Amino acid sequence: MAQIKIAVLVGSLRKESFSRKMAKTLMKLAPGPLSLEIVEIGGLPLYNQDLDDSGNPPAAWTGFRELLKKFDGVLFVTPEYNRSVPGVLKNAVDVGSRPYGKSVWAGKPCAVVSVSPGAIGGFGANHHLRQSMVFLDMPAMQQPEAYIGQAADLFDERGDLTNEPARAFAAKFMQAFAAWVEANKTTRQ
C-alpha cells in the first residue's frame, strides 16, 4: 500500500488538551501506510469573506489552504463546546472551504474523534462536525464511531493513553481509518 498522508486537526488550543493527547496517541497507533501530521489552526484569523473578495487574503489562510492540498485525508480530533464544535475548529473548516468553488476539503475522506471528560464523549460536537462534512463533500467514516468519554481518567502524567480498552479501541479505529482513506481517496490536488 502506498503512503497515505493525513492532516490531523485538533479542536483545542489548550496546552494540556485531552484532545491533543488523544490525537498524538492515534498518530502513534496508526498502521504503516498512514503518515500523519498535526496542522495547527490556532493562528488562523477569523473568517471574513471581505478579505477573500479583496484578492489579498491573510497569508495564514493561503498557507493553510496550500498545505491542506497535499493530504489524502483528514482526521479531526475535537472537544465539545456547548454541545458543538469549538469555534477554532469551525473557523479552520470555514477558512479551508473558501473561496467558493475552491474548497480544500472536497472529496477528502475523513474521520471524527470527539473527546470529553464527561460521560457523553462529545457526541454533540462529533455530529455537528459531521453535518459540515456532508456539505463539504468529505466522505466521513461511519464505523467505528469515536466518542471518547471520561478523558481525565485515560491518560498518565506524560500524556500517554494508559487505559487498555481505550488504547485497543484507538488502534482498531486507526486500522479502520487507514482502510477507509485507501478506499475513498482521490488524487492529491
Ligand X SMILES: Cc1cc2nc3c(=O)[nH]c(=O)nc-3n(C[C@H](O)[C@H](O)[C@H](O)COP(=O)(O)O)c2cc1C
Closest distance of CB 72 from ligand X, Å:
25
159 binds ligand X (CB under 6 A): no
> What is the enclosing helix (H) or strand (E) of 84?
none
When the beta carbons of 19 and 103 are compared against ligand X, the nearer one is 19
Q: DSSP secondary structure string, 5-25?
A: EEEEEES---TT-HHHHHHHH
When the beta carbons of 31 and 118 are compared against ligand X, the nearer one is 118
Work out the angle at residue 80's Cα, subtended by the Cα atoms of residues 50 and 110, and round it to the nearest 5 degrees: 70
List, in order, residues 6 or more apart from 53 with CB less than 8 Å away. none
Q: Quote the CA–CA distance of 175 and 189 in Å, as a whole number.
A: 25
126 binds ligand X (CB under 6 A): no
Candidates 7, 8, 18, 154: give the one binding ligand X (CB under 6 A): 18
Q: Which x/- pattern, by CB under 6 A, does the window 85-104 give for ligand X?
A: --------------------
Piece of 97-105, 112-120, 130-138, 162-170 that binds ligand X (CB under 6 A): 112-120
List, in order, residues 6 or more apart from 185 with CB less than 8 Å away. 4, 72, 73, 108, 109
Residues that bind ligand X (CB under 6 A): 12, 14, 17-19, 79-83, 115-118, 122
